[in-house]
Amino acid sequence: MPITRRHMLSATAGSMLLPSVSWGRVLGANERLNMAVIGTGGMGTGHLRGMVNDKAKENIDVLGVCDVYRRRLNEAQRIAKLDDTAAVIEYERILDNPDIDAVLIATPDHWHCKMAIEAMEAGKDVYVEKPLSHTIEQALACRDAVKRTGRVLQVGPQGTSDGRFWAARHAIADGRIGPVTWSQGAYCRNSRGGQFNWHIHPGCGPQNATDSDNYVDWDRWLGHEHGLAPKIPWNEDHFFRFRKYLAYNGGLATDLMYHRLAPLLLAIEGHDGAYPRRVVASGGRYLEKDERDIPDTFFMMADYPSEHTVVLSSVMTNDDTWPYVIRGRHATMEFGGGIDMHQQRPWEKEFKAANADILGDDTSTCSMPSVSRRSHRDNFFDAVRNGDTLACNVDLGCATMVAIKMGVDAWAQDKVLRWDPVKEVVVAS
């Protein structure tokens, strides 16, 4: 049998040349990319269907699926048309399969980094859903693991693949709106039944036979043996509605604000993002007073060392939202089909000079088109295959996570939090 790159192991002389702890194959530009999905709930199943549909177009295949809930695992197996050995409850079996090149992780947040780090150490590339992690320590460890292993890792906020933010990045770097001082983003909803009170399948849980559709490996979902979450008895509200509980995520901040902050940081700071200097937060559980411990109305502000502030709001009790806006000394940037820039009158001269190439008859305002980009997932395939620039690399994903988690903790602890960039720890005051 010819030795293919797929079968290369780290214990060869070549291992000296690569940073990987161990590596999978190096994929040729025309070779098929073999994926697996870990966590086939709402988002993972969406990704799975997308990849199955795009098999031929993207030259990919799905060789494995994994979930601790038998019903979802069975459904994923059907969608991907896999045999029983390729549909597993234990994610380690996916990582042990040398034919799988990359994994897409769409479990609840508290598992993201453990799985991502182990996958990279097993020589696989990783697409990990947002937010990058549950804790700051996990995010930093994952960032360091990417550097150590040399693997490709895309974090999942798909807004970073929105070409308007890449156009904004160029415009800001070119000085078209002057120095940025503040920006805003929001993600708001309203519902009668209580936000995140999603459907519960009755009768599920670890008490069922392991081959029953209703079986859940609850210990594996919690991950308490790895210190990922506290050990508690089976709780269907926690299982089906994990976003309501700080034990597994940061509520609105990690579920929704992360989507807003990552593109803003991309546009303002560049594609590696930046760590905040100080974070404050406010809000409360004003109306949704069920068993949840997350706020229903949440605001945070993050100050950055490059001297701008990001203001974020996420409100589940009123869905009148704010658009994205980035404010510079010379102009304000708004996001429509492309980006629109409106001058600040005292800085008219500077605005005209910086935008002379695109000004029309009305010289107080101008627009730039969006940049055309492939989808977030396809960008990951391109990065694995051709080394293309990732839309949300681990640096941007980690920097976003640090600010977002500081927001969660500032609210929960009722404190102002600062980031120590040397020790990479949060300091409370």
What is the smallest separation between the CB atom of 407 and ligand NAD, expressed in angstroms? 16
- Is 351 strand, coil or helix? helix
**Residue among 8, 27, 33, 106 that touches ligand NAD (CB under 6 A):** 106
Distance CA 177, CA 175 (A): 6
Amino acid at site 131: P
**Residue among 33, 65, 70, 72 that touches ligand NAD (CB under 6 A):** 72
Per the listing, tokens 């999905």 go with: 37
**Residue among 18, 43, 359, 412 that touches ligand NAD (CB under 6 A):** 43
What is the smallest separation between the CB atom of 140 and ligand NAD, expressed in angstroms? 18
Q: Output 249 or 343, the one with its CB closest to ligand NAD.
A: 249
Stretch that binds ligand NAD, among 18-26, 64-72, 178-186, 352-360 (CB under 6 A): 64-72
**Residue among 38, 117, 168, 180 that touches ligand NAD (CB under 6 A):** 38
**Residue among 255, 288, 296, 409 that touches ligand NAD (CB under 6 A):** 255
Per the listing, tokens 């906020």 go with: 157
Strand-pair partners of 38: 66, 105
CB 373 within 8 A of CB 163: yes
Tally the C-alpha atoms within 13 A of residue 374's C-alpha that lie toward its C-beta: 12
- Restricted to residues 127-156, the positions that interact with ligand NAD (CB under 6 A) are 129-130, 156
Q: How many Å separate Cα 183 from the centre of its chain? A: 20
Burial annotation 70-80 (CB, 10 A radius, 16+ → b, else e): bbbbbbbbebb
* Greatest distance between any 2 Cα atoms in the chain: 73
Please tell me the count of residues contacting ligand NAD according to CB under 6 A.
Answer: 25
**Residue among 14, 28, 42, 336 that touches ligand NAD (CB under 6 A):** 42
- Is 8 strand, coil or helix? coil
Distance CA 206, CA 239 (A): 11
**Residue among 24, 33, 34, 44 that touches ligand NAD (CB under 6 A):** 44
Q: Is 79 in the site for ligand NAD (CB under 6 A)?
A: no
Distance CA 79, CA 239 (A): 23
| Residue with smallest beta-carbon separation from ligand NAD | 41
**Residue among 37, 68, 331, 408 that touches ligand NAD (CB under 6 A):** 68
**Residue among 39, 123, 283, 295 that touches ligand NAD (CB under 6 A):** 39
Residue ranges that bind ligand NAD, judged by CB under 6 A = 38-44, 66-69, 72, 91, 106-109, 111, 129-130, 156, 158, 220-221, 255
